[in-house]
A and B are shown apart, each in its own frame.
Chain A
Amino acid sequence: MYFLASLSERRRGQLAALSIAAVVIVVGVPLWWRTTETYRAWLPFSQIKDLSKLQLHLSADVEVVFARGTLTPEQQKKLPLTQTQDEEHAVDGDNVKVYIGQRRTAILRINAEMRAGKTVEQLLAVLKPQIKQVLQVMSFSHTDITAALSDRVRFNPGSKESMTHSMRAFTSSPGYEITFSLLNPDPRSHRLHWDIEGAVQTYIQPFLTKLSPLANFSIDSQMLHYAMLGVNPRYNNDRGAFILHADSLAHVINPVEARLGSNAASSNPVLNFLLYVPDAQHSPLYIQDHKKMDVPSNAFHSPRWGGIMVYNVKNLYGPEAEFPVNININMAEVMGVFLTQLRLLVGMESSPPPPGFLVAPCGSVGLADWELDRLMWSRSVENIATATTTITSLAQLLDQIGNIVINDNIAQQVSSAVTSVQLAVAELEAGNLGFALQYSKETILASEKAFFDPSLLHLLYFPDDQKFAIYIPLFLPMCVPILLSLLKMASEARRRYREKQAKKD
């Protein structure tokens, strides 16, 4: 490789090698770095870290109104004058200390000796534990909030009641689908008519309209013929009827579920309500609970799935009737059961109130105002907790894996989610439940959209030896001549320097 060349030629060669090396280092390396880095938009990591220490302050406004005649005149003078309304509340029962109404009012009873000789402040101090109890029933209690935060405090076994409650209700979702199905295993004997549209419009729709701040609901209905239950009921001679025991109920749902359709367009959770009319050979069919007692409603429900009701029609026709028999189903009875199950599945408390409390029935809509408030409280807290977990885990994931591309839209979703969480927490502290729920819904939507964005898939796991294996065949052939020529120049320069030194001496 070493040929005899004139000095000027050698100089030219050295200059060529040096300039190539310079181009490679000055232009090539930055170019390679820029073109192989991944685009990562800016994310508010510091704010997200603050979010992970979630501290919620929930405040509820309570207004205490003293009925006329309750306070002595001296006590009354201390109170600021407020409007006195005349309201008639008929409450019966001697042991009732608290009556909870349909809207957001509750009535407490205090004894005469409790209010004698006390100032207003002392009176209020005496009333405070009772008011606290009322608040726990009507707004939220410790167990409700911990149940709503159950995905963060999962491993602490709360009470049995809270665990079953958290398992029964659906998780928070922006929408739900409700499907009403009529199962007719014996169309040859029974021709069933049900006015599902009217029933839904009258009974279910007002309930769902009242729940609309929480989520969107879409309803559909279907009729399935020749759909059997998966279990064979046993005939009980003393009752003269077929009995379905509570233990076998768990196996009823699966064979039926395969026949139920679902709306393929959305990924919302589905609530199924099935009305089963037993066939003529297996009528009447009753459900028994574990204590071998008949269930009056003849219905059961499955957590996070829906409910099934068995509707017996044997008593509606005699043995000489002409088959198929036309049967009109009593929708009021059916919808009463379905509405109860719907209430439980949406998240209403089913536990009885504390002793001494009397709760008013919830009216025709099926939902008292304070029950809606309870749902809104727990739903807001759940949304905020879920969104916070999502955002913090997304930030952690993006931080850990340096290869994921973060697009602008993801960064924007994350930022808006963080802002909404902060706003929702502020609104909860101020006690504005409606706004808090709205912000919590926005933050859930934004955080879910950011987390489940299809572009965040981490497929770029390269162990280091694979990285070397990719780059070496590309860059080594280019770098070897440059390095060799630089080395040659360096050795020649050293040789000349040594010659010069020798010449000097």
Chain B
Amino acid sequence: MKILTLLSVFGPYLFTDSVNIENSAGQFFSSGHTNNWAVLVCTSRFWFNYRHVANTLSVYRSVKRLGIPDSHIVLMLADDMACNHRNPKPATVFSHKNMELNVYGDDVEVDYRGYEVTVENFLRVLTGRLPPSTPRSKRLLSDDRSNILIYLTGHGGNGFLKFQDSEEISNVELADAFEQMWQKRRYNELLFIIDTCQGASMYERFYSPNIMALASSQVGEDSLSHQPDLAIGVHLMDRYTFYLLEFLEDIHPSSKTNMNDLFKVCPRSLCVSTPGHRTDLFLRNPESVLITDFFGSVRKVEITTEVLNLTHPIQRVEGSPVNGESHREVYSYVDQLPVSEIIHQKPKQKDWHPPDGFILGLWTLILLVFFKTYGIKHLKHIF
């Protein structure tokens, strides 16, 4: 006899269970993330913006030191400092005067360099809308259990951030990008740090949940740089990031410092500008959020208790034939530059567009002047 059981399901249901998982209980419930990502962007180029590159590289070093691997860091730099003609010490970028700390080092992995650092690429990385040919290292492959740290530095203004002296990103676009990330559950929690002039304006428009934001200055204030180095000739770091780095130097992977201490970094006396923060969109209490939740990568771990007992022996893999004439797979490289196709290509037929407003206006003006000067009765002499 068949019994057809119809279970109609929807709605949360608390299930009391007497399972003993106290081993993993503590670590799991302080935060709900299993992996960490970092997106570090320096939006300036040219030699006199040395300090922005040094800012970003210093944060990159701290984040790597605390455990986030390169595969989980997307670093966007103009990268024209270390090998700049004006750099008196080539292949180095210093963050402290007297050349104490070379933040460029040997193992910097820049994912987007030079002219690839654009607003479009930045938004594509955040929302995930990259062309299929993009390699893994240039993607933000986060899931709904990822904590992401986003650090932006450069020149900014009230409501915008300047990218590479040619374009800008507005705070509305940034807020929309974060909302799209939230819709697709591309993050568990997001920490947004910005070190530019009037940085607080960039986080004013956020409306997605689970975002915490810090900025180096309020609207109407400028973020100042820290100290120039007379040998190199430019300012080496910005104040806010300098004191942020001093704070991070005391953090090690198992430290329990929380976010409230991060908010106190760089008070007005040191920074001249007033750093700001925004936590109203964040669900947890900032006091319970560890610095290493975002800056480091502390993995959750469970002990494997029960083990399957496999008893059957290994079968011999009948892959390697005895005779010399083995069927070898023919490997071929993907044709990356199909030269023959390019040479013999016919020029693409561009779609015809009707002339746009400017051309229309210009011709109308010309016609108007012509008619005013000559009048219609003279047309038969011309045509």
Contacts and interface: CB of A to CB of B under 8 A. Distances in A.
Interface string B255-293: 000000000000000000000000000010000000000
Contacts of A146: 11-13
B17 A451 contact: no
B62 interface: no
Nearest to B13: A142
B254 interface: yes
A202 B28 contact: no
A112 interface: no
A482 to B, nearest CB: 8
Contacts of B29: 160, 163
A390 B304 contact: no
A140 B34 CA distance: 25
A160 B25 contact: yes
A145 interface: yes
A79 B1 contact: yes
B133 to A, nearest CB: 10
B343 interface: no
Contacts of B305: 295-297
A290 B358 contact: no
Nearest to A66: B1
A478 B8 CA distance: 67
A57 interface: yes
B310 A167 contact: no
A299 interface: yes
A445 B338 CA distance: 30
B167 to A, nearest CB: 10
A40 B294 CA distance: 40
B177 to A, nearest CB: 9
A60 B5 contact: yes
A58 B173 CA distance: 41
Contacts of A20: 364, 367-368, 371
B308 interface: yes
A304 interface: yes
Q: Looking at chain B, what size class is its interface with the partner chain?
A: 35 or more
A332 B314 CA distance: 8
A418 B262 CA distance: 46
A257 B300 contact: no
B345 interface: no
B307 A296 contact: yes
Interface string B65-91: 001111100000000000000000000
B311 interface: yes
A307 B314 CA distance: 22
A2 interface: no
B342 interface: no
Interface in B364-383: 364-365, 367-368, 371-372, 375-377
A295 B19 contact: no
Contacts of B354: 31, 35
Contacts of B299: 250, 253-254, 302, 305
A362 B308 CA distance: 9
Contacts of B375: 9, 12-13
B123 interface: yes
B129 to A, nearest CB: 5
Interface in B98-149: 119-120, 123-124, 127-131, 135-137, 139, 141, 143-145
B231 interface: no
Interface string B293-337: 000011111111111111111111101000000000000000000
Interface in B7-24: 7-17, 19, 21, 23-24
B378 to A, nearest CB: 11
A362 to B, nearest CB: 7
A124 B2 CA distance: 11
B162 to A, nearest CB: 16
A309 B183 CA distance: 37
Contacts of B341: none
Interface residues of A, number: 123
B180 to A, nearest CB: 7
Contacts of A79: 1
A120 to B, nearest CB: 8
B355 to A, nearest CB: 9
A343 B7 CA distance: 27
Interface stretch (A181-189, A314-322, A453-461, A487-495): A453-461
Contacts of A350: 306
A236 interface: no
Contacts of A482: 364, 368
A198 B310 contact: no
B331 to A, nearest CB: 14
A63 interface: yes
A435 interface: no
B17 A159 contact: yes
A401 B137 CA distance: 30
Residue of B301, B313, B365 with most partner-chain A CB within 10 A: B301
A215 to B, nearest CB: 15
A337 interface: yes
Contacts of B67: 251, 254
B49 interface: no
Interface string A188-202: 000000010111011
B317 A198 contact: yes
A251 B253 contact: yes
Contacts of A280: none
Contacts of A160: 17, 19, 21, 25, 28-29
A151 B144 contact: yes
B6 A57 contact: yes
A16 B371 CA distance: 7
B347 interface: no
Interface in A216-268: 246, 249-251, 253-254, 257-258, 262-267
B172 interface: yes
Interface in A11-56: 12-13, 16, 20, 23-24, 28, 31-32, 35, 54-56
B193 to A, nearest CB: 22
B224 to A, nearest CB: 29
Contact of A164 (B21, B70, B128, B173): B21
Interface in B165-186: 170, 172-173, 176, 180, 183-185
Given A332-B311, A337-B307, A454-B130, A264 B135 contact: yes
A-B pairs, 9 with minimum CB distance: A478-B361, A393-B183, A156-B12, A254-B67, A198-B314, A299-B304, A249-B301, A474-B357, A336-B310
Given A251-B254, A302-B300, 13 more contacts: A16-B376, A23-B364, A56-B10, A60-B7, A132-B5, A158-B15, A202-B313, A289-B303, A331-B314, A337-B304, A451-B184, A454-B131, A461-B170
